[in-house]
Amino acid sequence: MGDKRSAGILLYRYHGGELQVLIGHPGGPYWAHKPDEGTWSIPKGEPGSEETDLAATARREFAEETGAQVTGSLRDLGSIVSRSGKHIFVWAAPGDLDPATSHSNLFSMEWPPSSGVIGHFPEIDQVGWFNLADAGRKLRAPQDLFLERLEQSLRS
C-alpha cells in the first residue's frame, strides 16, 4: 500500500458500569492552545521501514505514547481514511491505565519557527479516560467512527 498508514490501539474498560476509552492529547506547541474538542487522538503512529505487521506497530506505538504495554488479543476495528488521506488502522484491547503514570516519547522540532532553537516535546502530553459521548467530541474526525465500531464489536 503506497498510501501513508498509521496503526493504533483503543484501550477500553468498564468503570462504574460505563464503557470508557483511553485517548490522548497531542503534545507540542502547535496543539497547546487549540480547543480541547476535536484535537484528541487514539494512540497511534506510522510503521517503521521494516514493519509489516500493523498490529505489532499499534502495540509499539501505544507503548511509546503511553509508557504501557498492551498484551493479549486485539479486536480489529478496521480502518478509516483521515482528512489528509492517511489510512488509520485501529485495534481495541481491554485494559486499565492510570493516566498519572502515563508518559510519552519525545519528538524534536524547531520552536519557535525560524528561531534556530530545537525543542523536545512529548508526542502525547496527556491521556484520559472518557465515556463514548465525551470521547466522540474530543477525538479528531473521523477517528470517532472507531467508537461506534468498538461498541458494536462488544455487543457481538
Q: Are 27 and 39 in contact (CB under 8 A)?
A: no
Domain boundaries, the chain: 5-155
pLDDT of 72 higher than 80: yes
| Residue 11 CA to its chain's centroid (Å) | 9
Residues 6+ apart with CB under 8 A from 22: 10, 11, 12, 13, 43, 66, 95, 97, 99, 127, 128, 129
Tens of pLDDT, residue by residue over 39-59, are 999 999 999 999 999 999 999
145: cell is 467512527
What does the pLDDT read at residue 1? 43
- Euclidean distance between CA atoms 143 and 66, whole angstroms: 18
- H or E element that contains 134: helix 132-138
Mean pLDDT of the residues in the chain: 95
In the chain, the DSSP E strands lie at: 5-15, 18-26, 44-45, 75-81, 87-94, 106-110, 118-122, 124-131
Fold topology of 5-155: Nucleoside Triphosphate Pyrophosphohydrolase (3.90.79)
- Give the confidence band of 35 by pLDDT, cuts at 50, 70, 90: confident
